[in-house]
């Protein structure tokens, strides 16, 4: 994603939040009132996806392939080809809808939930922000990714460990009964701009947790767990800062205890983009040091990563008041 696209993304997020302005209103408004489809197309997109009952007899549900933020809607009926790209006036794509082989595929860089309604002539699939469906949402941010490896030491790359822990944590929310929905800023080895991470999270989540590993090559005996939260100087209002600090303390103590690492405490930070641009409580966990032999071995041990993820899970569920 280039920088220009990022600004457009921020614009879209703002439009999503305010529900006003320009062409994006038609694309993302959560409660649009649409005229009936014009009948020129059996599948179409006018801010919702509509599917004519001349074509489809049933919508079979919507699968989310989170790795690519791609959603696939399967239907019973005949195959039909359709392509739509929602673009802002600048030409940047924000959403594509494609139909073929009895499937409609939606690709987007934002997070959505879908609802299906129907009348006598059409099925309608409406896109809305995740908050309209889930009461509590956590955004898990595996630090670095793609061309940005993060710290590298002793043949171990930080971005991989971060992703592994993040996936374990994500699964705990998927499989657990906390009632909290989790999303991830990346699901694979993808490059994500630092500034995009809070940008997509602010509109979609109640808590942002960035997962990292620490590094200090000058002294490889240094080890332990630290957790950062936004300082006074960061742009957070006081309430968010207090919530961030409290959650940081809970996660910090639990992760450090679970792994048996030195508890280096929580640290206020005014520089980290993912913290200072957050409009929701935000923390960044440095799980352990890649440069410390013992901790690097631990970070390559799946059981230990599971312990770290479980500690984060427990602390987040307590913090967000999950079931
Ligand atoms: Zn890092």
Q: Which of 129, 151, 166 is the last residue of a domain?
A: 129
Q: If you measure from the C-alpha of residue 52 to the centroid of ligand 1, how many angstroms do you get, rounded to a whole number?
A: 49
Query: In angstroms, rounded to a whole number, what is the distance separating the alpha carbons of residues 25 and 305?
Result: 43
pLDDT digits (tens, 9 = 90+) for 75-132: 999 999 999 887 544 444 567 899 999 999 988 767 888 889 999 999 999 888 888 8
Q: How much distance in Å is there from the Cα of 129 to the middle of ligand 1?
A: 29
CA 89 to ligand 1 centroid distance, Å: 36
Co-location of 118 and 138 in the same domain: no
Do both 112 and 152 map to the same domain?
Answer: no
Please, which pLDDT band fits residue 18 given cuts at 50, 70 and 90? very low
Of the listed ranges 24-28, 31-35, 217-221, the one predicted with least confidence: 24-28
**What's residue 64's pLDDT?**
75
- CA–centroid distance, residue 291 to ligand 1 (Å): 13
Looking at the fold, whether 165 and 124 belong to one and the same domain comes out as: no
Between the CA of 262 and the centroid of ligand 1 the distance, in Å, is 19
For 16, residues 6+ apart whose C-beta sits below 8 A from its C-beta are 24, 28, 30, 110, 129, 203
99 and 224 together in one domain: no
Confidence band for 323, pLDDT divided at 50, 70 and 90: low
Question: What CATH number is attached to the domain comprising 309?
Answer: 3.40.630.40
Domain-located, residue 262: yes
Structural domain for 257, as ranges: 134-320
Closest CA to 99 of 66, 72, 139, 65: 72
pLDDT higher than 50, residue 29:
no
If you average pLDDT over every residue of the chain, what do you get? 85
The percentage of residues in the chain with a pLDDT greater than 90, rounded to a whole number, is: 58
255 and 316 in a single domain? The answer is yes
Residue 107: both structure tokens together = 């690709």
Residues 229 and 170 in one domain: yes
For ligand 1, the distance from its centroid to the CA atom of residue 144, given in whole angstroms, is 6
Taking the centre of ligand 1 as the mean of its atom positions, its distance from the CA of residue 213, in whole angstroms, is 6
What confidence tens digit (pLDDT) does each residue in 243-273 have? 999 999 999 999 999 999 999 999 999 889 8
Distance CA 250, CA 227 (A): 10
pLDDT score at 21: 32
Task: Give domain status of residue 17, yes or no.
Answer: no
Distance 71 CA to ligand 1 centre (A): 30
- State in Å: Cα 178 to ligand 1 middle: 28
Which of the pair, 171 or 133, is modelled with greater confidence?
A: 171
State whether 172 and 74 are in the same domain: no
pLDDT in tens, 139-155: 999 999 999 999 999 99
User: How many other β-carbons are positioned within 10 Å of the β-carbon of residue 100?
Assistant: 13
Q: How far is the CA of 63 from the centre of ligand 1 (A)?
A: 32
The pLDDT value recorded for residue 15 is 45
The Å distance, Cα 203 to ligand 1 centre, comes to 24
| Ligand 1 center–CA 214 separation, angstroms | 7
Please determine, for residue 233, whether its predicted confidence score (pLDDT) is greater than 80.
no
Q: What is the pLDDT of residue 237?
A: 63
- Judge if 289 and 142 occupy the same domain: yes
User: What is the C-alpha to C-alpha distance for residues 283 and 139, in angstroms, rounded to an integer?
Assistant: 11
In this structure, the answer to whether residues 186 and 207 fall within a common structural domain is yes
Q: Over 108-152, what HEC string results?
A: ECCCCEEEEEECCCEEEEEEECHHHCCCEEEEEEECCECCECCCE
Is the same domain home to 109 and 196? no
At 20 the pLDDT is 35
Domain end position, chosen among 73, 101, 129: 129
Q: Which tops the pLDDT comparison, 75 or 36? A: 75
Checking if the pLDDT of 236 tops 90, the result is no
Q: How many folded domains does the chain comprise?
A: 2
C-alpha of residue 159 to centroid of ligand 1, in Å? 7
């Amino acid at each position: 994603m280039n920088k220009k696209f990022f600004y457009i993304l921020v614009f879209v997020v703002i439009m999503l939040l305010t529900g006003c302005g320009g062409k994006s209103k038609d694309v993302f408004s959560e409660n649009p009132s649409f005229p009936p489809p014009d009948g020129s197309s059996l599948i179409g997109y006018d801010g919702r996806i509509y599917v004519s009952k001349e074509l489809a007899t049933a919508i079979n549900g919507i699968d989310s392939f989170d790795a690519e933020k791609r959603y696939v809607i399967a239907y019973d009926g005949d195959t039909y080809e359709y392509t739509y790209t929602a673009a802002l006036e600048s030409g940047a794509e924000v959403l594509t809808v494609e139909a073929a082989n009895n499937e409609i595929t939606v690709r987007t860089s934002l997070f959505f939930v879908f609802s299906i309604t129907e009348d006598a002539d059409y099925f309608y699939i409406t896109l809305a922000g995740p908050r309209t469906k889930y009461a509590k949402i956590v955004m898990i941010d595996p630090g670095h990714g793609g061309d940005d490896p993060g710290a590298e030491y002793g043949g171990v790359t930080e971005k991989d460990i971060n992703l592994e822990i993040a996936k374990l944590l994500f699964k705990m929310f998927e499989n657990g009964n906390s009632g909290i929905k989790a999303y991830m800023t990346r699901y694979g080895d993808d490059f994500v701009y630092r500034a995009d991470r809070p940008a997509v999270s602010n509109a979609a989540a109640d808590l942002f947790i960035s997962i990292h590993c620490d590094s200090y090559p000058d002294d490889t005996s240094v080890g332990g767990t630290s957790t950062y939260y936004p300082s006074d100087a960061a742009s957070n209002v006081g309430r968010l800062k207090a919530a961030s600090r409290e959650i940081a303390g809970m996660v910090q103590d639990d992760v450090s205890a679970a792994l048996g690492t030195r508890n280096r405490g929580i640290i206020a930070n005014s520089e980290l983009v993912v913290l200072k641009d957050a409009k929701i409580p935000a923390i960044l966990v440095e799980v352990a040091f890649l440069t410390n032999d013992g901790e690097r071995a631990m970070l390559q041990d799946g059981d230990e990563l599971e312990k770290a993820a479980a500690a984060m899970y427990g602390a987040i569920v307590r913090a967000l008041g999950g079931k």
